[in-house]
């Protein structure tokens, strides 16, 4: 049993002895020692070949075996000894993986091999065995040595290997390792350029060729080398100038045709890799098109589609075709919005000034060249130091590192006398309540005079039933008198049907919907020709107050009349008029079907180029051409978006059941295409219609991760389901071939738009359906809800509605004050009333984030409810609420901007009273509160998030920002109360949609002008937040795997209020004694935060961790809109944990 072990130990000691002899011979070399060195190295080789322990002994920690071998190799001049040592090294590095190779590299082995290669090349004739051994070792060593390319170039080894290849094209044994070494050389771009000049490209094309079952390993090595060489744009040009593009395509076709059993897929993929690199330059893309490459790859990929294992070929072919697809002009006369709004003054250098300062005749839709190629020089950028710079490149330079800027500072931007004007918004602080008469002290809207339980037949305009001039004026509607030109609802006809009785049952009530004789029942959209008299279909709309207590169709129309839009809308969308009843059913996040992008959508787009005769290209809706004829062929869908919050600029029928859709830019802007809301009619049931929104701008979307569009069917509403529902299949979001001009892309050239595509099958003939990005919530709807809420006021509720200001568009921006009435007018109760802290809430600064309005609706309904918790909350705070900071943007269908063409959430640092009135007056009100000693305890701005799931918060923290940097700060700089984390932690315990792990408290430079940061820094509100609600759904908690709906959003608004109630007790525990224990469930101690991740953010929407290949050039393009990988950031320690608190104590 012990004999093998003893033998192994004896062998190990023997190799050490031999190494010692070799070391002595190396120190005192003699000519007579040649035979001895041959014998010693031969014995060592034998031991290594036969005993694994000997190999381990040679490279074990503390062993000098590798140094001795390399030293002797460097000094010996005997060929046989050199061959023995090279064989020893080859045996050592063949087994043992990267660790032994790492030892070899660390001992300087790479340089010794390269020097040996160069010196041996001077001895003619060359020894083939020696060259074979050296190159075999270089193949193993090169990939493990980061400096290999530089060392090879400096030692002059490049040309040696190239010459060996030239003279040994028929010598497979030597040719293979030489080609493999060329591949490693070419990993360095400088080397690749040099090798290209030395003829390496031509040599590789001599090796590769048509299908053959012989020498496939050599062919694969040559293809990989060629692909590496072609990464150099100079080499790619050289190959194209020599006409190699048709050659490569022909070779790929031949391999595709003959590799019927798919045993050589890896070779076929390598050929595609060469084509991919050739097409990285404009000349290559042109050569690809000229060589009929689109048709070749399209046909070969189509044949590969049924075989799942060939997906790598399909994906690479798809990437090449999409990249080479000729860039098309977006079919628009200009990318500027169809609508314009004149501004009182345009700041020089601002976005609007730049927008309208373009010289006449400049095409802002597409650049003269769609390329963004820098001219290469002979010495292209060396990349051997890339690994050293990885950490440098992944740093986020948006993090604020200036401690002075991080420290909150209260700024008095204007004298207090100028702020006194805002006292009228804070009457509750001065009113004595002796007369207990609140009507005279507020601007509470009077109850509507319209009786909600009366049925109202309504004319809703359609693309199918044009409005007759004879019936263009509303009946029984008197527009309000105003200095402004009032909105005339030319297309709305109202007539009261007093005889109708109210039916409380929704389904029965919907059954009362009637249409005039001779007009098909399609929600008011007549399918046949209109009568000469201009009579229109009338829909009798029932009362749904039981299910929609805050919705009244008649009141909604009254609100619409006073809403002013830039296009002067005269139409009302059916869903806004009739309302939306939240679904009782849960809508799961759509499972992403395998291959939707590469297998279906992208190939259908490529077919447009392959088979252009199949494309109809019929414009069926165009805001730029209001005289665009309405087709009455019965085949085309009919579109409309000329109603409040609508956004659809153009619709083009490209195939019988496929339409390209183009969204309108924000007014006074040339971009921000994301929000959509439009109407579709004249559909056939049971047909799969495909819709492509082709001018999206963001580089990714939750549409790639299970989010669906929303659809509202008029026929379904009539049948008893007045609801927005998630719909659509084959949904994906990907880069398309429509060029985005540098004017629209912030000066960057070569950018493309993105397509969001979905497929819908309609259920009813000639139905009228509405599609939206998210649940619409219009400004008129807000006004209606506020009037209905005011009617809910009880004697215990203090409610006042003021007009904060008038917007650029002439609309009112409401400001609400909500709290509890004092118990009496005694000094004690009045003092308690006035000592309540202020909570300041706002929403909808970005019009496209409609979910924020639904969350706000939930908060307002909770605050105005009669529950004990709501009363307790009102007794705990005085609420100042601006439910819609950007009414104009909401009304006009903008996604992000106001009528000033600017993002209002970037104007808080220095708002302009004329251009940004809502922000200016909101900030001034906050400054007034601070100046009067009533700085809000909490500020929260409600937002929506299109690229992340769940609901979460962004806050502000000095410590957590500093932890993301390497800034050295003194202890006093990092003194900070952790109270900013309390509310998010409470919400994570209470609200099922809230995710604490998604919250962030880092302050970024790009956010210094946002509400959250300015209110924290300048007003001094420690608990200043942005609350983001997903547009998609949740991936954790109770709603995991479900898309979010209005019920969940309103629930989040109510839960936020409950969180404020609990926060109040944590911030002032003495008040616990003033409330009955049954009013609210309290906790004595805050539990520890167990899962918190603070991400460094760029823009309002950071990159999410889900990955998908959505872009044809995703590996080659650095998209400024795509934020850095969050996984590269450090996960911050938990500031509320015991260990972290100890650390913070030491810091402070």
Do 824 and 841 meet the contact criterion of CB atoms below 8 Å apart?
no
Q: Is the dihedral of CA 445, 448, 453, 457 positive or negative?
A: negative
Quote the CA–CA distance of 1138 and 1140 in Å, as a whole number: 5
Between vectors from CA 947 to CA 945 and to CA 951, what angle results, nearest 5°?
A: 45
* Residues 888 and 898 sit within 8 Å (Cβ to Cβ): yes
Task: Starting at the earlier edge strand, list the strands of the sheet with 838-843.
Answer: 797-806, 812-820, 878-882, 838-843, 938-945, 1023-1030, 951-954
Distances (CA, A) of 441 to 82, 436, 437, 822: 102, 10, 8, 15
Residue 109: both structure tokens together: 């082995």
Any idea which residues carry the catalytic annotation? 1028
Helix axes 109-121, 97-106, angle to 10 degrees: 70
**Beta bridge partner(s), residue 1004:** 399
Beta bridge partners, 455, equal 497
Q: Do 957 and 1134 meet the contact criterion of CB atoms below 8 Å apart?
A: no
Q: Give every strand in the sheet of 677-681, ordered side by side.
A: 638-640, 677-681, 768-772, 709-713, 724-727
Beta bridge partners of 945: 1030
Give the Cα-Cα-Cα angle 802, 808, 811 (nearest 5 degrees).
Answer: 40
SS3 97: helix
Contact indicator for 820, 875 with CB cutoff of 8 Å: yes
Q: Which residues are within 8 A (CB) of 639 and not within 5 positions of it... i.e. 6 or more apart?
A: 463, 620, 621, 648, 651, 661, 678, 679, 680, 681
- Cα 848 to chain center, whole Å? 15
- Residue partners of 427: CB distance under 8 A and separation at least 6: 441, 442, 800
The strand order across the sheet containing 751-761 reads: 618-622, 650-655, 658-662, 688-696, 751-761, 729-740
Answer whether the bond into residue 756 is a cis peptide, omega within 30°: no
Q: Phi first, then psi: what are they for 811, rounded to 5°?
A: -105, 155
Would you state the structure tokens that stand for residue 881, as one six-digit string? 């609420």
- Please give the DSSP secondary-structure letter assigned to residue 291: T
* Cβ–Cβ under 8 Å, residues 138 and 90: no
CA pseudo-torsion sign 346, 350, 351, 354: positive
Q: What are phi and psi of 169, to 5 degrees?
A: -65, -25
Q: Would the CA dihedral through 629, 632, 637, 639 be positive or negative? A: positive
Q: Which residue has the tokens 């693309």?
A: 463
In the beta sheet, which residues pair with residue 540?
457
Do the beta carbons of residue 534 and residue 468 sit within 8 Å?
A: yes
Contacts of 942 (CB under 8 A, 6+ apart): 841, 842, 843, 844, 852, 853, 855, 856, 1027, 1029
Q: Which two tokens stand for residue 406?
A: 């991080």
In angstroms, the Cα distances linking 163 to 120, 121, 160 are: 13, 10, 5
């Amino acid at each position: 049993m012990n004999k093998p072990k003893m033998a192994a130990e004896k062998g190990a000691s023997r190799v050490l002895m031999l190494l010692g002899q070799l070391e002595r011979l190396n120190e005192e070399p003699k000519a007579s020692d040649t035979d001895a060195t041959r014998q010693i190295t031969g014995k060592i080789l034998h031991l290594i070949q036969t005993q694994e322990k000997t190999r381990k002994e040679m490279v074990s920690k503390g062993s000098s075996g590798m140094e001795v071998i390399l030293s002797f190799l460097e000094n010996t001049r005997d060929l046989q000894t050199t061959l023995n040592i090279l064989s020893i090294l080859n045996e050592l590095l063949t087994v043992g993986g990267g660790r032994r190779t790492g030892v070899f590299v660390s001992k300087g082995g790479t340089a010794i091999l390269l020097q040996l290669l160069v010196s041996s090349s001077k001895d003619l004739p060359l020894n083939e065995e020696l060259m074979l051994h050296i190159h075999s070792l270089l193949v193993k060593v090169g990939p493990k040595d980061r400096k290999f390319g530089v060392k090879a170039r400096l030692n002059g080894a490049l040309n040696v290997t190239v010459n060996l290849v030239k003279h040994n094209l028929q010598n497979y044994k030597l040719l293979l390792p030489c080609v493999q070494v060329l591949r490693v050389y070419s990993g360095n771009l400088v080397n690749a350029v040099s090798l290209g000049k030395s003829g390496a490209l031509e040599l590789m094309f001599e090796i590769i060729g048509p299908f053959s079952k012989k020498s496939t390993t050599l062919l694969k090595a040559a293809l990989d080398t060629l692909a590496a060489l072609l990464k150099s744009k100079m080499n790619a040009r050289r190959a194209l100038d020599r006409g190699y593009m048709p050659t490569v395509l022909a070779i790929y076709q031949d391999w595709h045709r003959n590799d019927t059993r798919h045993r050589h897929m890896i070779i076929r993929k390598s050929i595609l890799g060469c084509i991919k690199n050739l097409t990285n330059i404009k000349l290559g893309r042109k050569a690809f098109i000229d060589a009929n490459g689109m048709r070749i790859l399209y046909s070969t990929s189509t044949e590969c589609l049924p075989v799942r294992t060939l997906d790598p070929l399909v994906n690479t072919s798809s990437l090449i075709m999409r990249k080479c697809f000729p860039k098309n002009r977006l079919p628009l006369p200009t990318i500027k919005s169809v609508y314009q709004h004149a501004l009182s003054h345009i700041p020089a250098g601002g976005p609007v000034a730049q927008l309208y300062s373009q010289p006449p005749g400049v095409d802002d839709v597409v650049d003269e060249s769609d390329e963004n190629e820098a001219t290469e020089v002979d010495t292209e950028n060396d990349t051997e130091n890339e690994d050293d710079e990885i950490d440098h490149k992944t740093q986020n330079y948006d993090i604020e590192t200036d401690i002075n800027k991080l420290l909150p500072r209260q700024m008095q931007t204007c004298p207090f006398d100028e702020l006194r004007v805002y006292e009228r918004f804070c009457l509750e602080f001065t009113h004595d309540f002796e007369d207990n008469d609140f009507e005279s002290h507020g601007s509470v809207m009077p109850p509507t005079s319209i009786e909600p339980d009366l049925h109202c037949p309504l004319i809703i305009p359609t693309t199918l039933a044009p409005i007759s001039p004879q019936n263009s004026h509303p009946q029984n509607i008197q527009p309000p008198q105003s200095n402004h030109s009032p909105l005339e609802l030319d297309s709305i006809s109202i007539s009261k049907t007093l005889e109708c009785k109210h039916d409380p049952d929704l389904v029965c009530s919907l059954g009362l919907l009637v249409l005039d004789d001779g007009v098909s029942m399609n929600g008011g959209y007549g399918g046949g020709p209109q009568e000469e008299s201009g009579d229109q279909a009338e829909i009798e709309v029932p009362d749904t107050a039981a299910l929609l207590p805050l919705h009244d169709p008649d009141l909604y129309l009254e609100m619409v009349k006073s809403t002013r839009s830039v296009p002067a809308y005269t139409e009302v969308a059916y869903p806004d008029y009739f309302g939306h009843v939240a679904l009782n059913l849960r809508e799961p996040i759509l499972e992403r079907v395998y291959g939707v992008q590469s297998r279906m959508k992208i190939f259908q787009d490529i077919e447009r180029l392959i088979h252009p005769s199949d494309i109809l290209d019929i414009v069926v809706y165009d805001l730029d051409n209001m005289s665009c004829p309405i087709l009455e062929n019965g085949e085309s869908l009919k579109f409309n978006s000329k109603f409040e919050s609508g956004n659809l600029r153009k619709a083009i029928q490209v195939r019988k059941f496929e339409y390209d859709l183009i969204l309108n830019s924000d007014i006074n802007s040339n971009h921000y295409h994301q929000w959509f809301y439009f109407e579709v009619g004249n559909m056939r049931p049971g047909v799969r219609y495909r819709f492509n929104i082709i001018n999206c701008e963001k580089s990714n979307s939750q549409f790639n991760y299970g989010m669906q569009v929303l659809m509202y069917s008029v026929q379904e509403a009539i049948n008893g389901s007045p609801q927005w529902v998630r719909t659509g299949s084959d949904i994906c979001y990907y880069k398309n071939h429509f060029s985005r001009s540098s004017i629209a892309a912030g000066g960057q050239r070569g950018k493309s738009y993105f397509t969001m595509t979905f497929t819908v099958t309609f259920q009813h003939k000639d139905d009228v359906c509405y599609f939206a990005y998210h649940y619409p919530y219009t400004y008129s709807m807000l006004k209606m809800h506020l009037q209905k809420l005011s009617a809910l006021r009880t004697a215990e509720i203090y409610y006042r509605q003021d007009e904060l200001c008038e917007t650029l568009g002439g609309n009112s921006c409401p400001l609400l004050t909500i709290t509890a009435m004092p118990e009496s007018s005694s000094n004690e109760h009045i003092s308690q009333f006035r000592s309540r802290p202020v909570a300041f809430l706002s929403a909808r600064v970005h019009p496209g984030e409609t979910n924020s309005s639904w969350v706000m609706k939930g908060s307002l309904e909770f605050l105005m409810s009669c529950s004990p918790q709501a009363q307790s909350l009102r007794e705990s705070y005085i609420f100042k609420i601006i439910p819609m900071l950007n009414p104009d943007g909401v009304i006009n269908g903008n996604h992000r901007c106001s009528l000033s063409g600017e993002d209002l959430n970037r104007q808080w640092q220095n708002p302009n009273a004329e251009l940004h009135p809502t922000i200016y007056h909101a900030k001034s009100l906050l400054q007034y509160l601070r100046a009067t000693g009533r700085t809000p305890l909490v500020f929260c701005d409600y937002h929506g998030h299109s690229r992340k799931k769940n609901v979460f918060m962004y806050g502000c923290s000095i410590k957590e920002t500093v932890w993301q940097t390497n800034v050295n700060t003194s202890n006093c700089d990092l003194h900070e109360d952790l109270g900013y984390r309390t509310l998010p932690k409470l919400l994570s315990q209470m609200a099922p949609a809230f995710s604490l792990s998604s919250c962030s408290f880092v302050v970024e430079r790009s956010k210094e002008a946002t509400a959250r940061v300015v209110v924290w820094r300048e007003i001094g509100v420690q608990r200043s937040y942005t609350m983001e609600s997903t547009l998609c759904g949740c991936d954790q908690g109770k709603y995991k795997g479900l898309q979010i709906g209005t019920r969940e959003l309103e629930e989040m608004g109510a839960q936020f209020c409950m969180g404020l109630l609990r926060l109040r007790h944590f911030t002032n525990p003495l008040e616990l004694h003033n409330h009955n224990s049954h009013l609210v469930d309290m906790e004595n101690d805050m539990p520890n935060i167990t899962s918190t991740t603070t991400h460094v953010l760029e823009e309002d929407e950071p990159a999410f961790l889900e990955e998908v290949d959505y872009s044809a050039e995703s590996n080659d393009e650095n998209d400024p809109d795509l934020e850095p990988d969050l996984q590269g950031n450090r996960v911050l320690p938990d500031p509320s944990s015991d260990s972290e608190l100890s650390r913070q104590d030491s810091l402070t």
